[in-house]
Amino acid sequence: MKGLFTALMVSYDQDGNINEKGLREIIRYNVDVNKVDGLYVNGSTGENFMISTEEKKEIFRITKDEVKDQVQLIAQVGSVNVKEAIELAKYATDLGYGALSAVTPFYYKFDFEEIKQYYNSIINAVDNKMIIYSIPFLTGVNMSLSQFEELFENEKIIGVKFTAGDFYLLERMRKTFPDKLIYAGFDEMLLSATVLGVDGAIGSTFNVNGKRARQIFELAQQGKIEEARAIQHVTNDLITAVLDNGLYQTLKEILKDKGVDAGYCRQPMKELSSEKIAVAKEISNLFL
């Protein structure tokens, strides 16, 4: 399960319904044009926390049907509703997803024993593997090296999507857990994370910038740091422009400009103004 995984975007129509045709086009663009190693399905980038259980299942089904076995698939099933998480874990496993992932439980101030029970409850209910999704700046959940070690005592928990800026912790994890998978979660820090020895990366902007991500990742692995840094600089200029204009909406407009029916974002996310759509088209010209 190593390599570059796109955090898959989902196409919705203006009423917020899944646009199956558009979703399939996004999938094909990632597989055929971006040539990523896999897809991370129903994460934050897919607007997962604003959709129903049945809609999540439909996205899992469509993605697997479109991809077949062309690339690796990771199903993000995390939810503060553990019953839903287990239901989704069983569904994705039955579909043939190669691994599961689950965001740390959020909103309520869960203690570590509750977090540990959450992960064990999900993964022990299915015959599959689990990748922890650690994203403290959105969940408020910060875990220590020793706490990750406790989670990894369950052999079915095979790694972590590390979306945090604590690169000291990242380095300590890489040294301490050489046999666990560590994926970088911040696209703008891909070079730094690769130098520290991550096994891959899972990124939102890979939907449109997968080619440059591949260049950064492979050049850094080859020790060609200056070349990789130059591409990271360009990538971060583009990421800054996208963030300033509206992250998910702008990524979808860029995909539309590339001929992909990327649709709209779910409410309460707003639509871009005509001025911001024009900016998104200008940004699109800078992507490979």
- Distance between terminal CA atoms of the chain? 26
Report the amino acid identity of residue 92. A
CA 66 to CA 25: how far, in whole Å?
Answer: 9
Query: Which residue among the candidates 161, 180, 252, 256 is catalytic per the annotation?
Result: 161
Q: What is the pTM of this model?
A: 0.97
Q: What DSSP assignment string belongs to 123-162?
A: HTTSSS-EEEEE-HHHH-----HHHHHHHHTSTTEEEEEE
163 known ligand binder: yes
Active site annotation includes 56:
no
The yes-or-no answer on residue 133 being catalytic is yes
CB contact set of 205 (below 8 Å; sequence gap of 6+): 187, 213, 235, 238, 239, 242, 251
Is there a contact between 78 and 104 (Cβ–Cβ < 8 Å)? yes
Establish whether 146 is an annotated binding residue: no
pLDDT at 137: 87
pLDDT of residue 288: 77
Set 133, 183, 248, 264: catalytic member = 133
pLDDT given at position 206: 98
Return all residues near 167 (Cβ < 8 A) that are at least 6 apart. 189, 192, 193, 196
Q: Angle 247-257/274-284 helices, nearest 10 degrees?
A: 60
Cα–Cα dist 228/222, whole Å: 10
**Is 127 annotated for ligand binding?**
no
Give the C-alpha separation, 248 to 43, whole Å.
13
**Structure tokens that stand for 52 in this block:** 């129903």
Q: Which domains does the chain have, with CATH numbers?
A: 3-224 (3.20.20.70)
What tens-digit pLDDT sequence spans the chain (288 residues)?
Answer: 999 999 999 999 999 999 999 999 999 999 999 999 999 999 999 999 999 999 999 999 999 999 999 999 999 999 999 999 999 999 999 999 999 999 999 999 999 999 999 999 999 999 999 999 999 988 999 999 999 999 999 999 999 999 999 999 999 999 999 999 999 999 999 999 999 999 999 999 999 999 999 999 999 999 999 999 999 999 999 999 999 999 999 999 999 999 999 999 999 999 999 999 999 999 999 987
pLDDT of residue 207: 98
CA separation for the pair 208, 114 (Å, rounded) = 37
DSSP state letters, 214-245: HHHHHHHHTT-HHHHHHHHHHHHHHHHHHHHH
**45 annotated as belonging to a binding site for a ligand:** yes
Q: Is 223 annotated as a binding residue?
A: no
Residue 49: predicted pLDDT: 96
